[in-house]
Structures are given as C-alpha cells and as structure tokens.
Amino acid sequence: MPQSESTPLSTPAEIQHEIFSYLLPSQIHICLRGDKFCVLACLLPDGDEDTKIGLDGYDRQPSDDDGFPSTNATWARCLRSSWGPHWMCDEIALDGQSEKEFDMSIFLSKRIASTSSYAEVFDLMVRTAVVHITDLDTLECLDGKLEMPTTTSASLFPPPLLNIVQLSITLRLPLAFFEALERRLPEDTVIALGSELEPALAGMSRSWLLRLPSTLSRLKNLTQLRLWLDYSYLCSWSLVNERALLSPIPTFVSPSNLSISVILPKLHPKYEREARHFSTGTLEFRNAQLHHQFRQRWHVHANFGGSVEMVYKSDFPFLIGVIAMDIEELEELEWRLWKERNDVERDVEETIGWGFCAT
C-alpha cells in the first residue's frame, strides 16, 4: 500500500516550529521593490550588527579575482549604502540575481508540497526571525496598505506584517533630515513639521515623527525594537540633536514588555551638550537603552568634475591608530583630555599632519 506524502506542516505546530527553526533564516530583510515587498536573508551573523573598530569602511573595498582592489565606483556605492552595517545585504538586494538571495518560492517549493503552507511559513518566519527594515517607505507599509509580491509563493502571503516580534530599524539618512527635525520641532507641533521643507524631506520627517509611532503601535506582538541611526555626512555626529531625533520614542514605549535598544554614533566630547544629546545609557524612557558606537571613517567625496574619491575623516576617539593602547583606555584618556580643554586633534595634526572634520 503506497504511503501518502506528508509535509512538515502536517505535524503538530510545536514540531513544525522546531523543524523550520533549522531551515528558515534567523534574520531577514523586508524591503520594497516598486509596490511589492521583497524578502532577503540577512548576511550578518546573529548579534554582529554593531560597528567594530576595524570596520571603518575600508573593509568595504571589493577585490578582483587576483585580490587587487576593485573599482572606486563599487567601493563608493558600498560606502554610500543607506543600509549602514548591512551594506553587504544592500549589495545583494541591488544584484537581485545572486545565489545568496533568499528566494521564498525556491526555498518553500523544495520543502513544502502544499501551496497553502506558504503563508503559514512566512507568518512563522516573521514571528521567529529578526526583521530588518532599512528605509522609511517600507516601515510605513507594514500596515499592509501595499500589495505583497506576486511571485508563486509570495502571492499567498498575508498582506499585513503585523506579527513581527523582533524588529530592527536601520536608517542612514541625509543630514538635512536631522536638521529639519531640530529646526521645526521646538516651535511647532509634529503635525506641522515639514510644511516648509522640500517634499522628500517633509515626507521623511512625517514618517519618522507621525507614522513611525502609528505603525509600531499596530505591532501587537512586538517585544524587541532596535534602532540604528546615522547620517551620510562626513563630520561628527555631534551636529545632530539627539533629543529631537528620539522624541517619538515615548509615544510607543507604553507596552511594558517592549524592550528598545538605540544605537547612535559616538559623540565628540568637545561638542556634546546636555540640551541636545544623551549620555550613553541615559535615555529617559522606560525599557530603553542607548549605546554610542564607532562610526564609519571612510567616506565618498564628489569632485566638481563629477568624479569621486574616497576620503578618511577621523572621529572621536581621534587617537585610534595614533597611540597603541587598549581601545577603552584610549577612549577614556581622550575624553578626559577634551574635558580638560585640550585640543587633541590640533595637537596631533601639528605633530603628524592629520586632518579632522568636526562640525
């Protein structure tokens, strides 16, 4: 008597979960392509999103088959990536044909016989994986207002993605966006923000201040939220008014089970101001922690003729690579020197000729 075919989803839910925990990626990107969603496996190891000392942007320089540096155009694109530490995932998303891309239809067709299971597996994935979003447009569409993809598998996905449990938002935005938040927020209500800005900036501002809290409030299963923020400008993060930037947080921290982690670039001691900035770990919101981390130091500079060059701009701590010390001790030393009104950058520049861009 022939044995009937069985699928993973014909087993109890607990066993299904166990099976697919080994098959589904632990981190995924959800992004928009036109008016459809795209699912992409994240290439970063679990818990390895944070900027390390050695990852200052030079590591993004691709090599050819012989190991020599590739074209500056490729390196420039990687340095400019709005996906921040997920720049490699951005490259895969731009490629679209890479074997590293997580294709839901291929993955599921190999493992599931019943097409009715596609939506169930997708729902399981957004409940168990860390979901990364790297732009405001995608974030706005989590309420299901846009159609899901029309590929064989994706056409069966549920339109809303409201079952996300772990959400990571990574945004590397223009400096003008942060300036707009600071310029308008003190005097006007958030509803009026952006009324005199360029349309693109006005939309981004409204997305951050109004639609972000609205969207997050609909994610009833959300327990972990991670915000990684930076700008595409060369100079110190200290230009940004962190208090204006993080002003939406109190509107969506009410659930007691929601844990929020905010990652921002390190502040420069010379320009740090209590009225504008937060000290590490001192967010004034319940269940929220703040971490200041090392920032990208290689940047793209566009020349008048249209060509680009890669430039190195040091940031705090400036003494990295100058003094051979443990990084934590070096940072503490330089912070103390600045607070004692020593101009560390000027002293180093006069000694070895290094330049620095502060504000």
pLDDT value at 148 more than 60: no
> Of 2 and 245, which is predicted with more confidence?
245
Q: What is the pLDDT of residue 65?
A: 54
- Whole-angstrom distance, CA of residue 40 vs CA of residue 359: 37
- Whole-angstrom distance, CA of residue 39 vs CA of residue 30: 5
pLDDT in tens, 21-65: 677 888 988 887 776 777 888 888 765 555 444 467 777 777 655
Q: What is the pLDDT of residue 38?
A: 79
The structure's pTM equals 0.79
Q: What is the pLDDT of residue 69?
A: 53
The stretch 280-292 carries a mean pLDDT of: 79
> Of 84 and 158, which is predicted with more confidence?
84
Angle at 245 between CA 294 and CA 55, to 5 degrees: 15
Least trusted range by pLDDT, from 1-5, 67-71, 81-85, 295-299:
1-5
pLDDT in tens, 13-33: 677 667 766 778 889 888 877
Q: How confident is the model at residue 224 (pLDDT cuts 50, 70, 90)?
A: very high
Provide the mean pLDDT of the chain.
Answer: 73
pLDDT value at 191 more than 50: no
Q: Which of 263, 252, 310, 319 is nearest to 286 (CA)?
A: 252
Laid out side by side, the sheet with 27-33 consists of 36-41, 27-33, 130-133, 166-173, 224-231, 259-265, 288-293
Q: How confident is the model at residue 350 (pLDDT cuts 50, 70, 90)?
A: low
* Cα atoms in the 13 Å half-sphere on the side-chain side of 80: 13
